[in-house]
């Protein structure tokens, strides 16, 4: 991975990384999920279920398997943690009609994942309402142990916040190679999570949209690689 990782003792040494937000300890997973061990909560952002079918309705033909792939990836993250609570930080659906387009098999997968655990949908700009077909509880934001979990990060010097919405991505150029991948970005007081969905893409964290969030406070970056999650020095970051 462009020499970003040292020699390691085991394959899964970089499967996750510890991230601190206002003194609370989390485990960021290479899938893009975030596990909070003390609360037994798994957090994901921006699933954008049924984005493929939305594209198809506008004549943009893409493989219609994004919802199945995203749910399977989420199921694997849940299996790794066996979290008691799942919180999805908004834009779980690509549009307000998406829940009606989700296939019966995918609904069954979702129902299996929800068995014997609490499931919380935080609404976002793409899904201001979420139908009962998807189960779970719907909220606009939620506070857990002093940390506010919401879809869109607030501008300015906000603390105690975990959000999504911006689909952060980091671009690196090293040894003649260029790499652009989703990433977690934070400063110890707030965290913006990568988009979890299959067709979600990403916004370079050097773009202006991130400046109001981190400004001169600095930021820490963890990039999602093919084999793991890796901390990256900000001096290595490149603009698009």
Q: Where do the DSSP E strands lie in the chain?
A: 16-21, 24-29, 34-36, 41-44, 85-89, 118-122, 137-139, 142-144, 147-149, 161-163, 168-174, 177-186, 190-192, 203-204, 220-224, 229-232
Q: What pLDDT score does 187 carry?
A: 95
Tell me the average pLDDT across 188-210: 95
Residue 164 pLDDT exceeds 60: yes
Question: What is the pTM assigned to this prediction?
Answer: 0.92
DSSP 153: P
Cβ within 8 Å of residue 200, ≥6 positions away: 46, 48, 51, 167, 182
- Please state the rounded mean pLDDT for residues 177-184: 93
Angle at CA of residue 94, ends 123 and 101, nearest 5°: 110
Residue 217: CB atoms within 10 A of its CB come to: 11
- How long, in residues, is the chain? 240
Q: 147-171: string of b/e by CB count within 10 Å (b at 16+)? A: bbbbbbbeeeeeeebbbbbbbbbbb
* pLDDT of 215 above 90: no
Q: What is the pLDDT of residues 12-58, one digit of tens each?
A: 568 999 999 999 999 999 999 999 999 999 999 999 999 877 655 66
Beta strands in 129-213 (DSSP E): 137-139, 142-144, 147-149, 161-163, 168-174, 177-186, 190-192, 203-204
**Count of helix runs (H) and strand runs (E) in the chain:** 5, 16
Both tokens of 155, joined, read: 């501008």
Sequence ranges of the domains in the chain: 14-236
Please report the pLDDT score of residue 176 as a whole number: 79
Of 63 and 9, the structure prediction assigns the larger pLDDT to 63
Q: Which two tokens stand for residue 37?
A: 């061990």
pLDDT at 9: 43
159 pLDDT more than 70: yes
Q: Cα(29)–Cα(158) distance, rounded to whole angstroms?
A: 24
For residues 62-91, give the mean pLDDT. 93
Q: What is the CATH number of domain 14-236?
A: 3.60.21
Question: Alpha-carbon distance 81 to 39, whole Å?
Answer: 12
CA dist., res. 69 & res. 106, Å (int): 10
Task: Report the candidate in 162, 160, 143 with the shortest Cα–Cα distance to residue 151.
Answer: 162
Greater model confidence, 167 or 216? 167
């Amino acid at each position: 991975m462009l020499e970003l990782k040292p020699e390691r003792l085991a394959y899964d040494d970089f499967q996750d990384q510890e991230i601190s937000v206002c003194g609370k300890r989390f485990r960021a997973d290479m899938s893009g999920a975030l596990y909070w061990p003390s609360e037994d909560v798994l957090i994901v952002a921006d699933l954008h279920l049924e984005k493929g079918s939305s594209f198809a309705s506008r004549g943009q033909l893409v493989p219609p398997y994004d919802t199945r792939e995203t749910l399977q990836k989420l199921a694997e993250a849940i299996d790794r943690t066996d979290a008691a609570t799942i919180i999805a930080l908004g834009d779980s659906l690509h549009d307000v009609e998406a829940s009606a387009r989700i296939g019966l098999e995918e609904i069954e997968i979702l129902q299996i994942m929800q068995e014997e655990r609490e499931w919380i949908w935080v609404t976002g700009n793409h899904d201001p309402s979420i139908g009962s077909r998807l189960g779970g509880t719907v909220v606009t934001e939620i506070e857990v142990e002093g940390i506010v979990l919401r879809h869109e990060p607030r501008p300015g010097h906000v603390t105690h916040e975990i959000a999504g919405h911006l689909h952060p991505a980091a671009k690196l150029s090293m040894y003649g190679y260029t790499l652009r991948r989703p990433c977690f970005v934070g400063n110890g007081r707030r965290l913006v999570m990568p988009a979890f969905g299959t067709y979600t893409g990403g916004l370079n964290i050097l773009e202006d949209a991130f400046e109001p969030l981190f400004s001169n406070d600095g930021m820490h970056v963890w990039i999602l690689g093919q084999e793991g999650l890796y901390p990256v020095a900000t001096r290595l970051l490149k603009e698009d």
